[in-house]
Amino acid sequence: MLEKFEKFNQRISGWFEWVGIAGLLLIVVITGVDVIGAKLFTWRLFGAIDIVMLSQLTAIAFAAAMTLIIGRHIQIEFIVERLPQRAQAVIDSIVLLLELGLFFLIIWRLCVLGYSFQTTGESSGTIYMPLYPFAYGVALASVLVFLVLLSRFLSSLAKAVKR
């Protein structure tokens, strides 16, 4: 069951990662076109900065789950690694529970932020793109991070309570 849950998270994270890559490449293209236009033809791409900012927001948020899955985040492991396996599992469970709490708050507050953007009609500075879909998007991407953490928490808990 837990294995299926992990596979589900990996598959969705893989799809989200493609969204992230598209966002990142869009930044390269938009910035490149803007620079070439400005330097060679005295022409600026209208809204380039807005697009770059929102693409980056999307790219980073949608890459978060995969970054976690492949262990890219910096963490200090040399102390916990030296402990017996059960102790490691107990510590991991506590740490993951705290991380779950953090991401629960993040998802909730991003939904609140998105709603406030929606009701006040907040938009980007130049091309007036509404910001609320992006706040909801980051919240959605954070849900996947929450699920990855949950699967790890359940796995650690199972190791901790195993006789």
Partner 1 sequence: MSPEVTGVVGIAVLLLMFLLGMPVAFAMALVGFAGFAYLTSPGAAFTILSHDIFTQFSSYPLSVIPMFILMGTFAYASGISRRLYGTAYNWVGQLRGGLTMATVLACSGFAAICGSTAATAATMGKIALPEMKRYNYDDTLATGTVAAAGTLGILIPPSTVLIVYGILTEESIGRLFVAGILPGILLSIFFVGTVFFICLRNPAAGPPGASVSWGERIKSLTGIIEAVVLFGLVIGGLFLGWFSPTQAGAIGAAGALVIGLARRELSWRSFFEAGKDGLTTSCMVIFIITGAIIFGHFMAVSRIPFVLVDWIGGLNLPSMAIIGIISFIFFIGGFFMDSMALIVLLIPIFYPVLIKLGVDLIWFGVIVVLLAEMGVITPPVGVNVFIIKGIAPDVPIEKIFKGIFPFLVGLILCVIILMIFPQIATFLPSFATY
- In the chain, % helix, strand, coil (3-state, to 5) comes to 80, 0, 20
Site for partner 1 in 61-100 (CB under 8 A): 61, 63-64, 66-68, 70, 72-80, 91-92, 94-95, 98-99
Q: Least CB distance from residue 98 to partner 1, whole Å?
A: 6
Assess contact for 48 and 23: CB atoms under 8 A: no
Write out the two tokens for 162. Answer: 């195993």
Smaller CB separation from partner 1, 4 or 72: 72
- Alpha-carbon distance of 96 to 112, in angstroms, equals 24
Binding of residue 148 to partner 1 (CB under 8 A): no
Residue from 10, 31, 118, 123 binding partner 1 (CB under 8 A): 31
User: Exposed (0-12), middle (13-18) or buried (19+): which is 122, by Cβ within 10 Å?
Assistant: middle
Assess contact for 99 and 148: CB atoms under 8 A: no
Contact residues for partner 1, defined by CB under 8 A: 17, 20-21, 24-25, 27-28, 31-32, 34-35, 39, 49, 52-54, 56-57, 59-61, 63-64, 66-68, 70, 72-80, 91-92, 94-95, 98-99, 101-102, 105-106, 109-110, 112-113, 134-135, 138
